[in-house]
Chains A and B, each alone.
Chain A
Amino acid sequence: MSIKTETMTLNMGPQHPSTHGVFRLLVEVDGETITKAEPVMGYLHRGSEKLAENFLYTQFIPYTDRLDYLNAMTNNYVYCAAIEKLLEWEIPERADYLRVIVMELNRIASHLVWWGTYLLDIGALSPFLYAFRDRDICLDLLNEISGARMTFNYIRIGGVKWDAPEGWVDKVKEKVKELRENIAEYDTLVTGNEIFQARTIGVGKLTKEQVINWGISGPLARASGVNIDIRKEEPYSIYDRFDFNIPTREEGDVFARYKVRIAEMYESLKIIEQACEQIDEGEIIHKKGARIMMIKPPAGEAYTRAEASKGEIGVYAVSNGKNKPYRIKLRRPSFVNVSILQDLLIGENIQNLVAIFGSLDIVLGEVDA
């Protein structure tokens, strides 16, 4: 005799702690197995792209901070790089080095937030405290150079806003050593933990084909064996001058994503060290860039992309020769990466939902823009 069963619709969010923001997931469960998942987004929509059309070119920079607020420097950079491409400006070398240092510091801070909150999601409290201790080292350095801890508004069209304060570069070198030691501690603390491994190995497998078909980028793609990193693929800024590796793994499960992100932090530290060695005195902004209200690119269009901590971020800018952009299109990695949920969650256990969802590392400011 067969028992008559029916599926249940479960509404996760919009106010759910593991979404790290306002994100809604409509899940259909058959017993404990997920049969359908539908992400619902837009709760944090601010219309950034439309707002850009009414702003001077520089005025939009603070808004790019608020897309992926955990990794604001790369957002700043990629927008400014698009406008610089339109203007065909040469960027002073020192500005490029400062940009790379702050972007990589910010990438570490962003990965540390992921590391802390992910483990918090799956039930470990103390790693969160370690992660935020180390993140504070990065944020303090960024605070000193840009004057803010999260929404930096530091990179300008044509360079950077401020030169590094006295002794800042030496301080970064020192802190890099400290961070390296601290991150090594994480392996002893969490990576080897049997409970953690049982919870993550083999969970939420993402195949190479899925990654390519859904347009996934960033650590998520690299954990599934897709070796793509814009820093190597199409070196922007001055990334071709540094010696670093792209950590990849073949497994594609949650544990692989964890390992890739940890390895990436070490690579970022390597880049920062090299940049601090190579940096020279010099100009920090293009001679026309300091007059921020006068920026007027010629008519045309440009697309730039960069490797943010979440994946490939792109800005497509169209100018009609006026002092305001005609159109700004933002390619936000979190938005693309979150779409995989509807495919990835099917057939998984409901208990693994948070473990998988957390491993995607999305920021809702970027999903909804």
Chain B
Amino acid sequence: MFRLLKGFGVTLNYFRKKKITIQYPDEKVVMPERFRGIHRFFPDKCIVCNMCVNICPTDVITLTGKKHPENPKKKIIDTYNIDFQGCILCDLCTEVCPTDAIVMTARYDNLSSYTRSEHFKDIEWLSNNHVYGNYEESGPVPEMGERGERK
């Protein structure tokens, strides 16, 4: 019986200790720099090499390119889609990208939707995904906590 009360002692002891929980929707956990959240795409950097399409284990990336208007030897990106129904956020597309055109942000919430088609994100959505992440040197990085606008 004494040992049982000793156990309760541990619990009671926690009344005078610091709280460890976070009031989630009001306060948010700041994820570390490497966190693999949803993607952000930089169309200017993309060289249409198709590496991300080839490495994707779930085949959710589709892209098309077109000829560069000035230099016909080069290609620029035309469409770039990720189907987030199947994306497993494995980060392999970022890892193989030679120009860091596709990066992963620290955005991890407000991504559910009512229809399947809403999970299909196009180039516009992906390049407007202005959230903090591990890509300081490129593009505008807004203040922490600010979320990209949703369609």
Contact = CB atoms under 8 A, between A and B. Distances in A.
Contacts, number: 72
Interface stretch (A15-23, A55-63, A243-251, A268-276): A55-63
A47 interface: no
Given A188-B9, A293-B96, A55 B57 contact: yes
Nearest to B88: A62
Contacts of B88: 62, 66, 151
A75 interface: no
B10 to A, nearest CB: 5
A63 B57 CA distance: 9
Contacts of A293: 51, 54-55, 96
Interface string A300-326: 000000000000000000000000000
Given A147-B104, A194-B1, A58 B7 contact: no
B32 A144 contact: yes
Interface residues of A, number: 32
B7 A189 contact: yes
A148 interface: yes
Nearest to A148: B36
B34 interface: yes
Report, as a range, how many residues of chain B touch the other chain.
20 to 34
B88 to A, nearest CB: 6
A151 B90 contact: yes
Nearest to B51: A293
Contact of A62 (B3, B20, B51, B92): B92
Nearest to B20: A133
Contact of B35 (A62, A66, A143, A192): A143
Given A62-B92, A143-B35, A153-B90, A292 B55 contact: yes
Interface string B97-108: 000000010000
Interface in B57-80: 57
B7 A144 contact: no
A185 B11 CA distance: 10
Contacts of A188: 6-7, 9-10
Contacts of A61: 90
B95 interface: yes
Nearest to A197: B3
A193 B7 contact: yes
A76 to B, nearest CB: 11
A292 B34 contact: no
A56 B57 CA distance: 9
Interface in B96-131: 96, 104
Given A63-B57, A193-B4, A161 B95 contact: yes
A123 interface: no
Interface in A163-199: 165, 185, 188-190, 192-195
Nearest to A62: B90
A145 interface: yes
A126 interface: yes
Interface string A19-60: 000000000000000000000000000000000000110111
A68 B88 CA distance: 16
A146 interface: yes
B141 interface: no
Query: Which residue, of B1, B9, B11, has the highest number of chain A Cβ atoms within 10 A?
Result: B11
12 contacts: A55-B57, A56-B55, A59-B55, A62-B57, A62-B90, A145-B34, A148-B36, A165-B33, A185-B10, A188-B9, A192-B7, A293-B55
7 A-B pairs closest in CB distance:
A147-B34, A62-B90, A192-B3, A147-B36, A59-B57, A144-B32, A189-B10
Interface of B: 1, 3-4, 6-7, 9-11, 20, 31-36, 51, 54-55, 57, 88-92, 95-96, 104
